[in-house]
Structure 1
């Protein structure tokens, strides 16, 4: 069919092709204006459509940004409220535990200070005064004796009494000094007890002050969240993304632990269920092992929900304490039983591996060797089979963090995708607009020959018209008039001068009319 069309005009392919090109160029030349309009209108339509679509996607992106901000601020507000509530609870516990006996402590401190004051006053160094008559006796004993033995004897007796009185006074002073020293020694334990009580009170006040500072900090964050400030939203978004990656890493570790757990129980489950049984293209034993692991994870999740560590299920959190404790006991019992089953399956796996190894050795004609310390890997597998279910039970904590953080991360990714779509739409619109212009120039390039001929024809017509107009202007120039007609010419010139000036376009039209009359 194509060959017939090619040879439609002539048997010579070159001549026929030339004729087809001539026809095609002629058709393109005749359809130039509509084709230009079609190409330009199509490009403008695509450009406007893409711009409108970009604006619509931009509005959607702005709504997504506002929604993400509302979500992250709501999560931050909830977390801050919980933290503030927990801090107030701790402060209340500290006050109730350590500062509730402050009145007793104040009374004890007051009593201790009074005892210290009394003991201090009692320990004041006040030497005893000698009797008043002692000075008189001292004066009499110092009188001159004048050689009288009776007087000398009396004065000596008086002197002895004075010395005895001094000695008694000294002994009384020493006794009182010893009592003061005893009282001062008894002050030391009281000072130490008082210092210990003050130190404990200081520690309690310091802890309370730290809690109060933490509450003030989070209250400032809470006020910033309520004011919808952008910097706190960015901070919460960064924190949420950090939690997302950390929780994802922990979940990856949990998945690896689940795979190890699956390998521990897959072989014995194949012996129990049957290794040749399939369900939907999968081994029934593998499905049973996965079900056991999933049930363990579910029981661990319900256990943590009952302990109010996680809050994935509000129904469990809203249960009364009695029902919640019952659920806690039931889930822990099921988890413990499943852990025991896994431990037994792990031990069974070791026995099956040992039997399989012995069978291979017997088939190979090698006598089976009694391996020593075979119980060590058996015990290790049993311990792993018992501990891994409890380890997988704690996967609910990173799972909750991952779920909450994924909302923020998905919102950020959605905004990024929408911005990429906006840029793509604008780019496509601009490319379509510029491509339409390029197609117009390309279309004209295909019909360059007829366009050039048209240009030359127009230039020739224009040149001929210009020459004809110049000739007409020369014929319309006024001839020489005799003197007798000068007055008439002057009057006509005055009349013409009084007429309003014509526009250039009007003069050109008059010249064209005169030229037509001259030709006629």
Structure 2
């Protein structure tokens, strides 16, 4: 039997394969479409699950974003109220003393003003005396002339004394008015300070009103507040990341500044894994400095990375701050000493390399030597304190990273949902395409089937026409009733419908 199959020609194998594919056409179509629908439904279910996860993540991100915004706004409001309270305590706490001082100055000014008023001189008795002398009947009497001359001289003297008294009183009034000027200036200065304080409080109140409006929007969970917080988180993320990159560069410089002296201190031949003990020691010193800086910032309540430190009492928190600062100062001093040691080691290395080359050791100018040494010691002492401020961008980076990761994750989940939906639709279309390709492979048997169906349909139509012609001939020869005359046409219609129902279609109906 095997030899018979092997002796068959290739064209016969091809014909057998076509016939087998033609006979298995309907099951293969159903299998391909069923597999396509399976992948389509599975991918659609996966897309729906991913979309639901994306919606839940969006809600979670919204809650986290609003909570972070609410906390930040509460912190800003608290700081503004602290500043207002400080301004009140600094300026307006002395208002009773200022009020008393102003009252005393105003009382003194009022008294001086009353005393500086011009008082008209009291009328003298000279007018009555002159009137009495003028009424004397004997005006040519020499006694009267002497009396008048005496009166004239006395009036001259009295006029001079009155003028001098008037000038003295005017001088006193001017002195009183001059003494009022410092009091007026002091009052104006005090009122200016009060006005400045009130203006500062009004400005702070406007800032507080803005923070309160934003806080109300955050509590309401409006879309505007969410967009504002999202943009703020993104900007804070990139800014803090940039500052942290700068801080990492400073830490690397600090590491290379103390790595060489640490080799002389702990030995350069000891390893922990693939790392030198000296490098690990230098890295530990830098990390301890950063940690002490974080503690100092936490104790000052500039950052809030550790709620336990913020919850401590003020006395204990102050002690902890001074302890961390003392340790940071000690480590900075140690780094300055290591930097000095590094410069010495570099000079010794240069001298040894020059001796090994056989060259003469050049004398190093002391002025250049102390400049480089001072620069390295200054860098070793300042960099630890500079790394202290890493706590601020670190807090912003940690707070904004959660929001940024949530936004990016939600975006990728949405993208994955779209890809899965497209893949499901593509699998369904690929199944249809495979069905079409299968039909293309067996196009010749399908063509023969189509020709056969057309031939059978034409034969059935010819038979129907022939039967209709025969019945019409019988009706002309033999009259029948109206009811019997309708039956052939009905039978012909039924036979035509049966024949059309039995006719197979050209292509199998495919489920969508």
Q: TM-score, normalised by structure 2?
A: 0.87
Alignment of 1:35-434 (within 5 A): 35-131=28-124, 134-135=127-128, 137-138=130-131, 140-141=133-134, 147-373=140-366, 374-434=369-429
Query: Is 1:465 matched with 2:460?
Result: yes
The alpha-carbon distance between structure 1 residues 394 and 504, as it changes in their structure 2 partners (threshold 3 A), is farther
Query: Is 1:509 matched with 2:502?
Result: no
Deviation at 1:380, TM superposition (A): 2.4
Structure-2 separation of matches of 1:401 and 1:503 = 94
CA deviations over 1:48-99 (Å, ceiling 9, x no partner): 2222222221121111111111111111111111221222222222222211
For the 8 Å contact 2:262–2:281, the answer to whether it is kept is yes
Deviation at 1:116, TM superposition (A): 2.9
Listed as ranges, the gaps of 5+ residues in structure 1 are 514-520
Query: Is 1:435 matched with 2:406?
Result: no
CA deviations over 1:357-414 (Å, ceiling 9, x no partner): 2222222221222211233323322332232223223322221221111111111111
SS at match of 2:97: helix
Structure-1 separation of matches of 2:205 and 2:487 = 95
The alpha-carbon distance between structure 1 residues 212 and 351, as it changes in their structure 2 partners (threshold 3 A), is same
CA deviations over 1:273-298 (Å, ceiling 9, x no partner): 33333322222322222222222222
Deviation at 1:187, TM superposition (A): 2.3
Deviation at 1:242, TM superposition (A): 1.4
- Would you say how many aligned residue pairs link Structure 1 and Structure 2? 495
For the 8 Å contact 2:468–2:492, the answer to whether it is kept is no
Q: TM-score, normalised by structure 1?
A: 0.86
The alpha-carbon distance between structure 1 residues 382 and 152, as it changes in their structure 2 partners (threshold 3 A), is closer
Structure-1 separation of matches of 2:291 and 2:173 = 76
Structure-2 separation of matches of 1:342 and 1:470 = 114
For the 8 Å contact 1:64–1:411, the answer to whether it is kept is yes
Moved more, 303-312 or 418-427: 303-312
Deviation at 1:338, TM superposition (A): 2.7
Deviation at 1:474, TM superposition (A): 0.3
Structure-2 separation of matches of 1:172 and 1:235 = 80
Match of 2:509? none
Listed as ranges, the gaps of 5+ residues in structure 2 are 499-512
The alpha-carbon distance between structure 1 residues 432 and 223, as it changes in their structure 2 partners (threshold 3 A), is same
The alpha-carbon distance between structure 1 residues 202 and 502, as it changes in their structure 2 partners (threshold 3 A), is farther
Match of 1:477? 472
Moved more, 413-422 or 167-176: 167-176
Structure-1 separation of matches of 2:488 and 2:294 = 96
Structure-2 separation of matches of 1:7 and 1:189 = 135
Moved more, 89-98 or 457-466: 89-98
Structure-1 separation of matches of 2:281 and 2:204 = 51
Which of 440, 445, 451 aligns to 2:440? It is 445
